[in-house]
Structure 1
Amino acid sequence: MADTLIRGATVITMDRQGDLPHADILVRGDCIADIAPSLQVDDAEVVDAAGCIVIPGLVNAHMHTWQTALRGVAANWTLLEYFQKMHAGLATAFQPEDLFIATRVGALNQLNCGTTTLADWCHNNPTPQHNDAAIEGLLTTGIRAAFFHGTPKPDPKPGQVPFWEVPHPRREVERLLKAHQGHALLAIHAAVLGPHYSTLDVALHDFRMARELGLIASLHQGGGAARTPDGWERLEAEGLLGSHVNIVHGHALSDAQLKRFCDLGMSFSAAAESEMSQGHGHPLTGRLRQFGRAPSLGVDLESVLSGDMLTQARVALGIQRSLDNVAHREQHGTIPSTSTIRTREALSWVTVEGARMLQQLDRIGTLAAGKQADLVVIRASDLNMQPVHDAVSSVVFQTSLANIDSVMVAGRWKKRGGRLLAGDLTGDLARLRASGEKITRAMGLQQRR
């Protein structure tokens, strides 16, 4: 693979080099070889990036990609409706081929929007064939992915053991680890129930499994009463908590619990837009900041909202500023003298913090020599971007999908000149539509056109 020289861009490294107003990036193989104001390189493909901003590839830290064929279906549902209509309803109609096309198209859309790393939280996978189909959907796109193996959540039938009493299938996780061992762009982890959604015995089993297999244990926390109210205390007493544990949402955690978990090095992933829409509560952003921590962010549900990670950064930033402003006015009777959160911090939530949550900050999340060449080229000369006074703020507040010119993963272009390099998507989109129509029809949901 020939060297690539991206020339003359404003580079936001999110690393020690800081922001470079006019710099070149040399990509050699799958890594960044150098970043400097002026590089002289022979025999490299030169990409003119004048008038562009280059940022690290975005990291989507939490998405149920299997729901791509159901875009908009859950847009008006609360969390309670979602549990009943999605997990106990629509999810039960999925065949392996439905997971494949949903995951493939969902991952391609992530690349199109500037996401280079996707944490795919797959919890509609009743058979090994479903898992294989979902993973194949990821692999066909060339996105960097972490496949979080979950378990389905249907209502139990008479005589059937309910899902919250079923331990995570370790043998299947081990099969996937063996099948994809050493893959450069794919990691396997565990999407476990956790003490909020399972019995204590199941939680202990699942957390021991994750620790013994060296996996990140990611879990949902919140949404109603916990099935094991003292579960977190019991897990900690068994020595099962630490930096490998990732809490998604995190609502219903007390401040004392949250501080303890921060002290233990656990990570947190918020889905601000989804959480506010479906009734979880306010995102944890501000509560984490008081303990010196920050969230990673995820889209969560394309069945509810769009897959654009910069939108997630804007929403999370906006709601926390609003909460901070209201709290200040209530305490002091006036507007704060300055914003409580800068735009650079919001950009870190969808780059640095996502990489940290996946335990890959040494490889991705920032732009630096020696790191993987995962990057996004934003056309800052466009109508909606000009003039650029503060490149970071322009990225966070002005940039839309229309400005995402090029996307690179591990040194390979996945999007160039505003066009996704995925061939003719006509067949994929037809399969996606057919899948969505089949699933909604099977559940008696009428699609409104």
Structure 2
Amino acid sequence: MTMGPQGDLPETDLLVHGGRIAATGTGLASDGAETINAHGQILLPGLVDTHNHLWLSQMRGLFGRSEQTRYFPLTERLGAAYEPEDMRVGTLFGASGALAAGVTTTLAYCDNIRIPGHAEAALDALVESGIRARFLYAGHDRLPADAPLDIDHLRQLHLNRAGWAGDAPIELGLGWRTPTTGSGDAVVATALEELRRARTLGLPISTHISGENGPAQLQFLMQRSLLGPDMLLVHATGADPQALREVEEAGAAISLTPITEHRIGFGLTRLNHYTDPVSRVGLGIDGALAGAPDMFAVMRAGHMVQAAVSGDELAILPREILQLATIGGARAIGMDAAIGSLETGKQADMILVDPAALNMGFSQTDPTALLVYSAKPQNVAMVMVGGKILKQGGRMTRTDEAQLLEAATSSLAAIQARANISASQNAG
């Protein structure tokens, strides 16, 4: 399934050379290359996660069980107790889980950077995992709105990328705090200076437009003509049709995270409300609040709501949903020239889904409904990023899963102890 102009190609070979797709066709000569027999399986581009808070992945399962476990106050309290090693473990835990589930590209919105070591530890984890990522440098919950981010550190990381990243497919961006139309002068001045400096460096921007403040934040961007092709709006809560038309006119993009938007109470995520007026829309997992790094579940959630609110089961088709999770997500983050579809010359980011499982079966014609409505992470048999195999035969190739799970468990226990959260409090 190329998810590109060639469409679906049954019984087709694909040749990878130098980390890129060299050719597709039937009967391709392997010339001594390693051969993977994928007969009966589904080959498609790696899934693109346009928004995720990987750093807090060890918090999975803590939220929404009591007043004391509401998402935002609990993440603020626990985040304040993170040490650099916790940032590393959480990011590696989240990135590895995403890879295992078929996500080959993620946008890691790292909004818990309190010291430079927090950012550096998270970047080390992304490099170690092998995932393709955009690391979004952001502040933390307790950073005053008029206190600046350490843009100097971001600039140093950007200029010295070869030193810390090597050949890892990691790039940098800014996780920007969008003010509202009612923000004070000091807050606005700080935010605008951060945005100016990031754009001077040529870094992409990602920003939350969410909750009750969503419409006012979007109004701020529109009034000051700050929208642009380099900006990804996360959630876009409360955006009306006229505002979305202005987003499209400015060339900006939107990331939708149906599972977490529903769980946190942002209202129903109606995909067509966004995709009809805006051409660059992708899907995101959004982190531990989603319950699991499962883009198949995100796709299902998006479809179910669209069908329910429209009263039409065909309001959005499974192929359209799958496009949002592959080439559409790549287009939303400005990487569609390199990833998102299986086309000659693009990066060899791809996954194999094995339908030989009790939860699946196999469609001889169009597998999109099977992938969107039936597939689960355990059906992902192989994951490749830039030609490197990171999962094969259903097992991760560079991650000791048991060891990583133990590290995440120990990290969370230490974080809770430093935050003075007892087991009984955590239980709600």
User: Any conservation in 1 of the 2:71–2:289 contact (CA below 8 Å)?
Assistant: no
User: What is the CA distance between 1:166 and its match in structure 2?
Assistant: 1.9
Percent identity reads: 30
User: Any conservation in 1 of the 2:100–2:383 contact (CA below 8 Å)?
Assistant: yes
Cα distance change on mapping 1:70 and 1:318 into 2, 3 Å: same
TM-score (norm 1): 0.87
C-alpha deviations, 1:124-160, integer Å up to 9, x for none? 0100001000000110111111100110012xxxxxx
SS at structure 2 position matched to 1:13: coil
User: What is the CA distance between 1:28 and its match in structure 2?
Assistant: 0.6
User: What is the CA distance between 1:85 and its match in structure 2?
Assistant: 2.0
Cα distance change on mapping 1:80 and 1:211 into 2, 3 Å: farther
Q: 2:24 aligns with which of 24, 29, 35?
A: 35
Q: Which protein has the bigger strand share?
A: 1
SS at structure 2 position matched to 1:307: coil
Specify the code of the residue in structure 1 equivalent to 2:74: K
User: What is the CA distance between 1:184 and its match in structure 2?
Assistant: 4.7
Structure 2: unaligned runs, 5 residues or longer: none
The residue that corresponds to 1:125 in the other structure is: 113
User: Any conservation in 1 of the 2:43–2:351 contact (CA below 8 Å)?
Assistant: yes
Verify: 1:444 aligned to 2:421, yes or no.
yes
User: Any conservation in 2 of the 1:191–1:219 contact (CA below 8 Å)?
Assistant: yes
The residue that corresponds to 1:46 in the other structure is: 35
Q: 2:198 aligns with which of 210, 222, 231?
A: 210
Q: 1:59 aligns with which of 48, 66, 76?
A: 48
Distance in 2 (alpha carbons) for counterparts of 1:184 and 1:428: 20
The residue that corresponds to 2:346 in the other structure is: 371
Q: 1:426 aligns with which of 402, 418, 423?
A: 402
User: What is the CA distance between 1:343 and its match in structure 2?
Assistant: 0.5
Verify: 1:314 aligned to 2:295, yes or no.
no
Specify the code of the residue in structure 1 equivalent to 2:233: I
The residue that corresponds to 1:7 in the other structure is: none
Q: 2:326 aligns with which of 333, 345, 351?
A: 351
Q: 1:15 aligns with which of 4, 7, 13?
A: 4
Cα distance change on mapping 1:386 and 1:83 into 2, 3 Å: closer
Specify the code of the residue in structure 1 equivalent to 2:257: A
TM-score (norm 2): 0.91
SS at structure 1 position matched to 2:336: coil
User: What is the CA distance between 1:208 and its match in structure 2?
Assistant: 1.6
Distance in 1 (alpha carbons) for counterparts of 2:196 and 2:69: 30
User: Any conservation in 2 of the 1:192–1:218 contact (CA below 8 Å)?
Assistant: yes
The residue that corresponds to 1:4 in the other structure is: none
Specify the code of the residue in structure 2 equivalent to 1:444: I
The residue that corresponds to 1:8 in the other structure is: none
Structure 1: unaligned runs, 5 residues or longer: 1-11, 155-161, 326-335
SS at structure 1 position matched to 2:36: strand
1:391-402 pair list within 5 angstroms: 391-402=367-378
Q: Which moved more, 1:434-443 or 1:198-207?
A: 198-207
1:404-423 pair list within 5 angstroms: 404-423=380-399
Q: CA RMSD in A?
A: 2.3
The residue that corresponds to 1:223 in the other structure is: 211
User: What is the CA distance between 1:224 and its match in structure 2?
Assistant: 2.5
User: What is the CA distance between 1:119 and its match in structure 2?
Assistant: 0.7
Distance in 1 (alpha carbons) for counterparts of 2:278 and 2:108: 27
User: What is the CA distance between 1:289 and its match in structure 2?
Assistant: 2.6
Distance in 1 (alpha carbons) for counterparts of 2:249 and 2:422: 46
Q: 1:282 aligns with which of 268, 280, 287?
A: 268
User: What is the CA distance between 1:445 and its match in structure 2?
Assistant: 4.4
Specify the code of the residue in structure 2 equivalent to 1:187: E
C-alpha deviations, 1:65-102, integer Å up to 9, x for none? 11111111114479993222212x11100000000011
Specify the code of the residue in structure 2 equivalent to 1:110: A
SS at structure 2 position matched to 1:432: helix
